[in-house]
């Protein structure tokens, strides 16, 4: 049994009562449904015309970058771990940079490569969030570690007696660098997600153009790029001014008159190159991430994002190459790793990537294996025979009862 409860001529809503259910029918012209699936043309960053040639080119380049990144940073870790004694606390920071670059190559590159091959995101929403999170936290943490290296060199060269970065302090500084990087990057797990276009799913490479997303990416660029870069600029400027005033700035000087060792000057130059290269390789990625939500563009070429990703991953590949070009200890360590040398006792083989001395290269103290058949002589040699030396230095007085005297 059913009946009409209320109905008016100008009303578009009709209530129909049944014995078991109460149904509400609403005019379809006055209701809109939320649809999570978007059309491909509605997504500005989605590539609509992907050719097989570009996909193959991206795959080859990513594979080459992955191989060089993994091999180079593994070599850095092995060379430092084979050291008998860490001669510089800066090696802790260098090892942290290498571990961060390895994490970027393992946690991000394979999934980006899978996206290029399949032309879709097949790893789920959770992995999409994690990949974007790692792409934020690792470059940011590396910037903070580079600031720690700058502080270490600043006090070592300018104020060597007032403050010293010990090994325990270096470990704490590395921990704080990564902690702050994670703290700033955690909201990326909330803002990034997957987008369904037609029948395929895609991991969003940019933040949405909303006020909360814009505020977050501004904070990321400010804390991960701008502030550390300013600190590095100020620190290394003061260090080079001190070196210049000490007499190193391109002028001739005597080694004994130089208050700043030549090894430290070379190391600071290498670290400056590392910082400059790192800034120019990661800044396009951060500035593009900031530009997209702020500009609210209607169309973004996919090649722009691909180029920024390549430069971001190139920063992880570049550091071992810089060590190889500018540090002789790292080259020596790599040769012994490949040759599997057994000479581990000599101080010249105790690698310190950021500390090298010409005197230490030419004069080293080692341990020499002595054959068990070799026996210590019972009588001293002529050079250490005290009685013979005393006898030679006596001046005997003939025909006298006075004792002999010594010259």
pTM for the full predicted model: 0.71
Cβ neighbours around 284 below 10 Å, total: 16
Range of the domain at 19: 3-30
Residue 364 within a domain: no
Q: Residue range 339-354: average pLDDT?
A: 50
Sign of CA dihedral 96, 329, 359, 371: positive
Residue from 278, 307, 277 nearest 140 by CA: 278
Residue 348 within a domain: no
Residue 386 within a domain: no
pLDDT at residue number 266: 85
Of the segments 1-5, 42-46, 290-294, 300-304, which one has the largest average pLDDT value?
A: 290-294
Domain boundary among 339, 359, 391: 339
pLDDT per residue over 220-246, tens digit each?
999 999 999 999 999 999 998 888 887
- pLDDT above 80 for 367: no
Number of domains the chain contains: 2
Domain boundary among 288, 317, 339: 339
Residue 140 within a domain: yes
pLDDT at residue number 126: 93
From 72-76, 119-123, 382-386, the region with the lowest mean pLDDT: 382-386
| Whether 43 contacts 120, CB under 8 Å | no
Confidence of residue 9 (pLDDT cuts 50, 70, 90): very low
∠ at Cα 145 (317, 64), nearest 5°? 10
DSSP string over 138-166: HHHHHHHHHHHHHHHHHHHHT-TTT----
When comparing pLDDT for 371 and 190, which is higher?
A: 190
Residue 346 within a domain: no
- Examine the domain organization and report whether 18 and 145 are in the same domain: no
- Examine the domain organization and report whether 106 and 254 are in the same domain: yes
- pLDDT above 70 for 348: no
- pLDDT above 90 for 136: yes
Residue 377 within a domain: no
- Examine the domain organization and report whether 306 and 167 are in the same domain: yes
Helix (H, G, I), strand (E, B) or coil at 312: helix
- pLDDT above 90 for 368: no
Q: Residue range 94-116: average pLDDT?
A: 92
From 116-130, 203-217, 376-390, the region with the lowest mean pLDDT: 376-390
Torsions phi, psi for 382 (to 5 deg)? -65, -35
- Examine the domain organization and report whether 87 and 233 are in the same domain: yes
Residue 196 within a domain: yes
| Whether 133 contacts 157, CB under 8 Å | no
- Examine the domain organization and report whether 22 and 96 are in the same domain: no
pLDDT at residue number 259: 61
* Alpha carbons 35 and 196: distance in angstroms, whole number: 10
Confidence of residue 338 (pLDDT cuts 50, 70, 90): confident
pLDDT at residue number 399: 56
Of the segments 56-60, 182-186, 386-390, which one has the largest average pLDDT value?
A: 182-186
- Examine the domain organization and report whether 139 and 240 are in the same domain: yes
pLDDT per residue over 175-210, tens digit each?
999 999 999 999 999 999 888 877 788 888 888 888
- Examine the domain organization and report whether 12 and 115 are in the same domain: no
- Examine the domain organization and report whether 243 and 305 are in the same domain: yes
- Examine the domain organization and report whether 246 and 292 are in the same domain: yes
């Amino acid at each position: 049994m059913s009946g009409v409860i209320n109905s008016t001529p100008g009303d578009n809503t009709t209530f129909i009562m049944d014995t078991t259910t109460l149904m509400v029918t609403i005019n379809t012209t006055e209701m809109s449904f939320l649809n999570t699936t978007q059309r491909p043309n509605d997504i500005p960053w989605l590539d609509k015309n992907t050719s097989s040639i570009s996909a193959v080119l991206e795959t080859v380049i990513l594979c080459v970058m992955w191989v060089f990144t993994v091999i180079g940073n593994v070599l850095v870790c092995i060379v430092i771990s084979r050291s008998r004694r860490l001669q510089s606390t800066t090696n802790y920071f260098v090892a942290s940079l290498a571990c961060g670059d390895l994490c970027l190559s393992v946690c991000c590159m394979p999934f980006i490569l899978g996206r290029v091959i399949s032309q879709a995101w097949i790893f789920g929403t959770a992995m999409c969030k994690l990949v974007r999170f790692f792409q934020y936290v690792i470059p940011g943490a590396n910037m903070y570690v580079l600031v720690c290296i700058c502080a270490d060199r600043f006090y070592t060269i300018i104020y060597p007696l007032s403050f010293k970065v010990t090994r325990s302090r270096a470990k704490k500084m590395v921990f704080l660098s990564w902690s702050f990087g994670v703290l700033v990057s955690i909201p990326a797990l909330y803002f990034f997600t997957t987008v369904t276009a037609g029948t395929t799913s895609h991991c969003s490479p940019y933040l949405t153009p909303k006020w909360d997303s814009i505020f977050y990416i501004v904070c990321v660029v400010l804390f991960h790029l701008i502030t550390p870069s300013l600190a590095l600029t100020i620190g290394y400027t003061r260090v080079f001014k001190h070196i210049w005033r000490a007499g190193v700035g391109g002028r001739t000087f005597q080694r004994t008159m130089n208050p700043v060792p030549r090894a430290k000057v070379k190391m600071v130059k290498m670290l400056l190159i590392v910082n400059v290269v790192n800034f120019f390789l990661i800044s396009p990625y951060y500035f593009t991430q900031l530009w997209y939500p702020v500009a609210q563009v209607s169309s973004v070429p996919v090649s722009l994002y691909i180029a920024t990703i390549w430069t971001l991953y190139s920063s992880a590949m570049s550091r071992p190459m810089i060590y190889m070009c500018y540090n002789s200890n790292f080259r020596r360590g790599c040769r012994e790793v490949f040759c599997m040398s057994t000479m581990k006792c000599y101080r010249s083989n105790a690698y310190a990537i950021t500390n090298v001395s010409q005197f230490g290269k030419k004069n080293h103290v080692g341990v020499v294996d002595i054959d068990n058949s070799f026996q210590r002589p019972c009588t001293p040699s002529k050079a250490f025979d005290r009685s013979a030396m005393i006898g030679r230095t006596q001046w005997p007085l003939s025909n006298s009862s006075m004792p002999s005297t010594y010259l």
